[in-house]
């Protein structure tokens, strides 16, 4: 008798949860459509302390310049001290505020040492942008073991080291924003970039997993995460890009890409940088608003609980 009542109760609860999911999906889809037509106001970054890796070149340099123009205080990290100092100098010439630190973000000890120095000399950051990356373009079998290790050390593990360094302060403060530059190759793979594609898929997995972990049970709702998926950017990394319809889908300039990234950060949405197209907050892999995707995950309630040890 009791077991029968429990079965009925569980079925009724499941039906109620499913109806609630449908209701949330409809509301969130309508809201996403509304936000597409009438985007939310861009949040201010004036006075924010922003740390950017790979700031000496390409997207990283443009991000540094444009954040500084919006009133942010920028900490520039790069393994190339000369180009990094040039970025800091350019910001200063425009009247902005910036600091430069040489840092090999692929090295855990170097990241920790630099972060300690930054805390002592500048303070705690509010926005972390993991931009540093390398992109060797050659067939899979021409990549040596050292090539693959270097790609993952720079493109993937650097994200782990910087996030592990700064996330605790975000949690202690109750706010913060983590931005990761992945790639369109982290959504759709291509030839001659196998290790690179794998590394960018890994970045996407890191950000998706961290998003779920931070929002689970409403743990840290005010820590924002933005994953960026640029198309081919004119930074010199892709020396021989092949595009069948360049007039429809041209190569993006670093300046335009940085502007889209900053807009996405200020709207707190995922960004896919394709020239002339603003796919903010939409996953190409499932074509549903991100909040509906989260609601579905909540309904499924499937995952792995924390180990006791």
* Residue 279 bears catalytic tag: no
User: Which strands make up the sheet holding 73-78, listed edge to edge?
Assistant: 97-102, 73-78, 49-53, 127-130, 176-181, 223-230, 271-274, 277-278
Quick one: tokens of 245?
């319809």
Cα separations (Å) of 95 from 4, 6, 121, 266?
Answer: 73, 68, 20, 22
| Residues composing the chain | 309
Exposed e or buried b per residue across 109-144, where buried means at least 16 C-beta atoms within 10 angstroms of its C-beta: ebbeebbeebeeeeeebbbbbbbbbbbeeeeeeebe
Phi, psi of 215, rounded to the nearest 5 degrees? -95, -10
CA distance linking residue 63 with residue 254, whole number of Å: 9
Q: Provide the CB-side half-sphere exposure for 96 (13 A, CA).
A: 28
Quick one: tokens of 286?
């499932």
CA distance linking residue 13 with residue 294, whole number of Å: 20
CA dihedral 190, 193, 199, 200 (to 10 degrees): -40
Count CB neighbours of 265 within 10 A.
23
Q: Which of 196, 216, 279, 293 is catalytic?
A: 196
Give the active site residues: 196
């Amino acid at each position: 008798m009791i077991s029968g009542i429990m079965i009925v109760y569980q079925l009724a609860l499941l039906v109620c949860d499913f109806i609630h999911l449908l209701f949330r999906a409809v509301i969130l889809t309508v809201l996403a459509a509304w936000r597409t037509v009438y985007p939310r106001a861009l949040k201010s970054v004036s006075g924010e302390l922003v740390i950017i890796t790979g700031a000496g070149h390409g997207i990283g340099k443009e991000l540094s310049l444009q954040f500084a123009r919006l009133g942010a205080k920028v900490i520039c990290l790069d393994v190339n001290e000369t180009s990094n100092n040039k970025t800091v100098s350019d910001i200063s010439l425009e009247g902005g505020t910036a600091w430069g630190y040489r840092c090999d973000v692929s090295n855990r000890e170097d990241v920790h040492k630099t972060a300690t120095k930054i805390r002592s000399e500048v303070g705690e950051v509010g926005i972390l942008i993991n931009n540093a990356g390398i992109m060797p373009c050659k067939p899979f079998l021409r990549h040596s073991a050292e090539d693959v290790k270097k790609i993952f050390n720079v493109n993937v593990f650097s994200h782990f080291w910087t996030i592990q360094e700064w996330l605790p302060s975000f949690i202690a403060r109750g706010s913060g924003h983590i931005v990761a530059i992945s790639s369109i190759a982290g959504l759709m793979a291509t030839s001659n970039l196998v290790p690179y594609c794998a590394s960018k898929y890994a970045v996407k997995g890191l950000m998706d997993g961290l998003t779920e972990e931070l929002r689970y049970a409403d743990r840290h709702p005010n820590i924002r995460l933005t994953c960026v998926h640029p198309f081919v950017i004119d930074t010199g990394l892709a020396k021989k890009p092949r595009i069948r319809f360049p007039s429809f889908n041209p190569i993006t300039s670093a300046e335009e890409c940085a502007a889209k990234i900053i807009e996405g950060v200020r709207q707190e949405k995922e960004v896919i940088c394709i020239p002339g197209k603003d796919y903010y907050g939409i996953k190409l892999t499932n074509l549903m608003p991100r909040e509906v995707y989260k609601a579905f995950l909540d309904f499924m309630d499937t995952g792995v609980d924390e180990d006791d040890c």
